[in-house]
Amino acid sequence: MDAESRVTAMATTLPKKDVVIIGLGWTGSILANELTDEGLDVIAIERGPWRDMATDYPPNYAQDELRYRIRHELFLRPDQTTFTFRNKMDQTALPIRTWGAFMPPNGVGGGGVHWNAETWRFLPSDFVLRTHLTQRYGAGFLPGDMTIQDWGVTYDDLEPHYDQFEYLCGTCGAAGNLKGKIQEGGNPFEGPRSRPYPNPPQKQGFGHMLWAKAAAGLGYKPFPQPSGNMSQAYINPLGVRQGPCTYCGYCEWFGCGNYSKASPQTTVLPVLLRKSNFSLRDNSEVTRIDTDGSGKRATGVTFVDTSGNEWQQPADLVVLCAYAMFNVQLLLLSKIGQPYDPVANTGVIGRNFTHQCMSSVNGFFDKTKFNFNPFIASGAIGMCIDDFNGDNIDHGPLGFVGGGYLGQVQTNGRPIETSAVPKGTPKWGAAWKKNVADYYLSNLKGGSIHGSMYSYRDVYLDLDPTYKDRFGRPLMRMTIDFHDNELKAAAYMTDKYAEIVKAMGASIVEKEPRKGPYDITKYQTTHLNGGAIMGSDPKTSALNRYLQSWDVPNLFVMGASAFPQNAGYNPTGTVGALAYWAAKAIREQYLKNPGPLVHA
Amino acid sequence: MPRPSTIAAAGLAAAALFAAAPLAARDSNLQDFAQIERGRTLATLADCVACHTQKEGGKPFAGGRPIETPFGVIVSPNITPDAETGIGNWSDEDFDNAVRRGIRRDGARLYPAMPYPYYTKMSRSDVRAIRAYLATVPAVRNEVHANQLPFPFSIRWSMHAWDWLFFTPGEFKPEPDKSAEWNRGAFLVTGPGHCGACHTPKNFLGGDNTSQALQGGQVQGWFAPDITGDRTRGVGSMSVEDIVALLKTGHNAVTAVTGPMGEEVADASAHFSDEDLKAIATYLRTVPAGSGAPPTPVAASDPQMQAGQAIYRDTCSACHAIDGTGVPHLFPSLAKAPQVRAQDPTSAIRIVLRGARSVATDSEPTAPAMPSYAWQLNDAQIAAVLTYVRNSWGGAAAAVSEGDVHKQRQDVADRTD
């Protein structure tokens, strides 16, 4: 049977809805909730299964490292669909058959089920990056092929929506800047907040606090990482409750069955699912956004269920809320927006694709003096410094731009994954066992250098010319490599981090700065960004400042695919803020006068 | 985005209703808004919709829901105004006879799965109002075969004897020396609310054991707990506000409802007025507790207690906390929730075996759930951990035996609900 014959020839048309949402993760849940509040009839179509705590990842087996961490139970199966990868434009891309560098989410709740819940805001300067860096250092300071852009929104635009997302999640943290006033114990580099975090910071382990002490001793400003793992019981503005985190250390890669990690299931879905004007089709993969003859108006979506039946869901408004790369793929397959051409430097869909440039440092300590109990942890526990992030330092003498937060954010002491041994230890046998036993309690693994990755002309997404999915559609092809700028930043920050670990009293300090080429097999983060970016110019962006497609005004595209470049932070806080920002624009502007919200 | 199709559909439904309106003798007045509205309130208090609607996708009041009784399954009839399959052709007298006397339109006796022994406390005008309201709901054609009981219970005339033995007809009589609030509560609990239908233990023929009113009873594989003023097992340790919160939202600071009571909250008591809920709470707190000496706690040194403590710490404490306090409105406090120490541990065993989801309401939408531990803990382990929970943090209740759990495990294995 050839791939295309697996889909029945005739699609069945369903009754029209006001809004169809593609993907029910964080942004889909938020948009669905906001638009149903507006009285609209909303349907969400989700590729993966329904998921809920007590039935799908209950506390009596959620902490199964083999099942979830090693065998990837919560993630998309590459058999269902995958991506192809290459470093350089002159290489032939090959399909990814086992996830490595990132973990594509799947199912209701999306990445919000299995994230660590690190809930950051980007710096005000991140949103006007090109303008800011050019003004400070001159245009010639940036590498010629770096394609960073301003976002078209500012931190001040987004501040109320960061606040909304944090109060939805119950984010735990210490404010560093309240209405312009710097607060002791918080991040002094952050943009001004209109009010404190909804919850106090989580408790920190011995290793996290020792790191913070050493960092402060070196003159840095440590603060607790903003966390979506609850420091105490919380009820959010929608009336949904979470319980206190138990510090079990099974967050990223796992679902939290204890109701203590912010996720769509623990913050929005209980309210959304009670609404009579909301419905959901799970296990249904959207294969195309349908447009009318002009190509300027979306008429709905086409999706396929698990039986191979094809359905058409007409709607007045389409909101694309899938994972970043699937957003881009669906736009390309639906022929919405001009595909990016890196040679001619034209087109927008696929442009400014980025990931992250993570580095780390391991510290091994004298076991008779240091006991870190690394298993007492949470996904977003930890102490961080922002002294090297964004443009918080003078990059003039350094010869690179960008940065990242540095943090002792060890999230777990899981036995398979977290058994670091000093370099030179045999890979197996008695000597390996001895070092695992000796260092399990007295090493710090997961020193995080959360490096930004800026955008370049030759890092992009397009449709693969060779490999197809089970429906016969081309796979999404990633062309991605690190550039010197990012690797220089990684080396610099890794040295700084190592100085802190040394100051803690480590007997062995092992630096692991990120090195090229970009490796698709080694996990970094799941923060893939760009490809359908927002901006002020339709020639260089797919979306306007409200995440509305320049080409198809009744299509909005949520998520990190809108980031023109990545910052030195985890993206979810910004993804959430942008979702609320777009929802507000739809509710207050678009519905009154459906059409382009920005005329360029 | 206007949706004129909705308006058109509503018009059609009204026309259908009008056509279905029967010409039977009645003193309920379909023109009287006040009567219809009073009827809606009373129908909610009486929770008619729960039994008379199929669980998944059933049309309201169209019947067809199987009601499990100790003697077999009875299927609820259609009480929409459909003339042929509902009650559209009934006179008000027919309706009153069924609701307050347990007598069917053809003169046959109803089974007390229909709680007429409680509804008899309502007045004729109350029942007339319910009838007026039911005449306004959409008529649904749905033929139901009510009686699926095995012989000899399938013989309806046996119910004559049952009624003679256990049914005391008669309207509610207020007690003049009690407050109006208390009397309202007493009327609601013993009348339309029919709390005793589940919470009062039954004799071997299914009649109420009236001397133990509201002291807890077996129902559909659960134990409906003691809701008397008993301070340890009943609601005596809860304030009026605590009880109101539980009935209105499904949750309070120490406990949450689940199982059939979850349905009751979602369909009925979440929609009661605050005054009625306060009245119910005020009355329940005065219902006499059962006699008998309080149980002595199982000693902490008992091997079952020791094993139970270890299991509790490993398995339960992440949510319910080491000291059993839980998280208010989210995870019940096993230290304080009186149901934990029910004389009959059926519900506790069932929750551990099957898991349970609490109820979602507008004010408490979270509806947290507990997973099943049936695959993880064997009968002896479940007995131990429940014995520990029932006898810790100042509480005392009879130990749970391995045999109790074994019996329940077999029971829940066969249940589809």
Do residues A365 and A348 make contact, with C-beta atoms less than 8 angstroms apart? no
ipTM for the assembly: 0.91
Q: Which of B139, B155, B171 is the last residue of a domain?
A: B155
Task: Calculate how close chain B gets to A247, using CA atoms only, in Å.
Answer: 10
Beta carbons of B371 and A58 less than 8 Å apart: yes
CATH code, domain with B388: 1.10.760.10
Q: List the single best residue of A40, A60, A229 to mutate versus B (max B Cβ within 10 A).
A: A60
Burial code (b: 16+ CB inside 10 Å, e: under 16) for B284-310 equals bbebebbeeeebebbeeebebbebbbe
pLDDT tens digits, one per residue of A466-511: 999 999 999 999 999 999 999 999 999 999 999 999 999 999 999 9
Q: Are strands A383-385 and A17-22 parallel, antiparallel or unpaired?
A: unpaired
Q: In terms of residues, how long is chain B?
A: 417
pLDDT tens digits, one per residue of A17-69: 999 999 999 999 999 999 999 999 999 999 999 999 989 999 999 999 999 99
pLDDT at B17: 41
Kindly report which listed range (A273-282, A335-344, B148-157) carries the lowest average pLDDT score: B148-157
Q: Is residue B3 part of a domain?
A: no
Q: Is residue B165 part of a domain?
A: no
Q: How confident is the model at residue B313 (pLDDT cuts 50, 70, 90)?
A: very high
Q: Is residue B269 part of a domain?
A: yes
Q: Report, as an integer, the average pLDDT of B387-393.
A: 97
Q: Which of B237, B256, B284 is the last residue of a domain?
A: B284
Phi-psi region of A249 (alpha: psi -120 to 50; beta: other; left: phi over 0): left
Q: Which of A257, A279, A242, A245 is nearest to A52 (CA)?
A: A257
The residues in A 227-266 lying below 8 A from B, measured between CB atoms, are: 233, 235, 238-244, 246, 248, 257-259, 266
Residues of A in contact with B366 (CB under 8 A): 239-241, 259, 266, 270
Q: Report, as an integer, the average pLDDT of A279-293.
A: 97
Q: Is residue B151 part of a domain?
A: yes
Q: Report, as an integer, the average pLDDT of A326-340.
A: 98
3-state secondary structure labels for all residues of A81-95: CCEEEECCCCCCCEE
Q: Is residue B400 part of a domain?
A: yes
Q: Which of B316, B295, B294 is nearest to B373 (CA)?
A: B316
Beta carbons of A59 and B371 less than 8 Å apart: yes
Residues of A in contact with B327 (CB under 8 A): 233, 241, 243-244
Q: How confident is the model at residue B151 (pLDDT cuts 50, 70, 90)?
A: low
Judgement on whether residues B331 and B388 belong to the same structural domain of the protein: yes
End-to-end CA distance of chain A: 48
Q: Which of B252, B284, B316 is the last residue of a domain?
A: B284
Q: Where are the alpha helices (DSSP H) in A38-140?
A: 53-56, 65, 111-114, 129-137
Judgement on whether residues B236 and B144 belong to the same structural domain of the protein: no
For CA atoms A64, A67, A69, A74, the dihedral sign is negative
Total domains, chain B: 3
- DSSP characters over A10-52: SPEEPPPEEEEEE--SHHHHHHHHHHHHTT--EEEE-SS----
Judgement on whether residues B311 and B364 belong to the same structural domain of the protein: yes
Judgement on whether residues B197 and B95 belong to the same structural domain of the protein: no
Judgement on whether residues B115 and B209 belong to the same structural domain of the protein: no
The domains of chain A, with CATH numbers, are 12-89+105-140+148-170+230-342+530-600 (3.50.50.60)
Instruction: Give the DSSP H/E element, type plus range, for residue B190.
Output: helix B180-190
Task: Calculate how close chain B gets to A238, using CA atoms only, in Å.
Answer: 9
Alpha carbon dihedral A87, A93, A94, A97, in 10-degree steps, equals 60
Beta carbons of A41 and B3 less than 8 Å apart: yes
- Residue A235 is which amino acid? I
The values of phi and psi at residue A308, to 5°, are 85, 5
Query: At a CB cut-off of 8 Å and minimum separation 6, what does B27 contact?
Result: B92, B128
Judgement on whether residues B27 and B147 belong to the same structural domain of the protein: yes
Alpha-carbon gap, residue A559 to A570, rounded angstroms: 13
Q: How far is CA B18 from the centre of its chain?
A: 34
Alpha carbon dihedral B323, B328, B333, B336, in 10-degree steps, equals 100
pTM > 0.90: yes or no: yes
Judgement on whether residues B374 and B275 belong to the same structural domain of the protein: no
Beta carbons of A244 and B315 less than 8 Å apart: no
Q: Which residues of A are catalytic?
A: 527
Instruction: Tell me which residue range forms the domain holding B382.
Output: 303-413
Alpha-carbon gap, residue B151 to A499, rounded angstroms: 85
Residues of B in contact with A240 (CB under 8 A): 365-366
Q: Which residue is associated with the tokens 């692991």? A: A512
Beta carbons of A243 and B330 less than 8 Å apart: yes
Cβ neighbours of B173 (radius 10 Å): 10
Chain B CB within 8 Å of residue A55 CB: yes
Kindly report which listed range (A440-449, B41-50, B299-308) carries the lowest average pLDDT score: A440-449
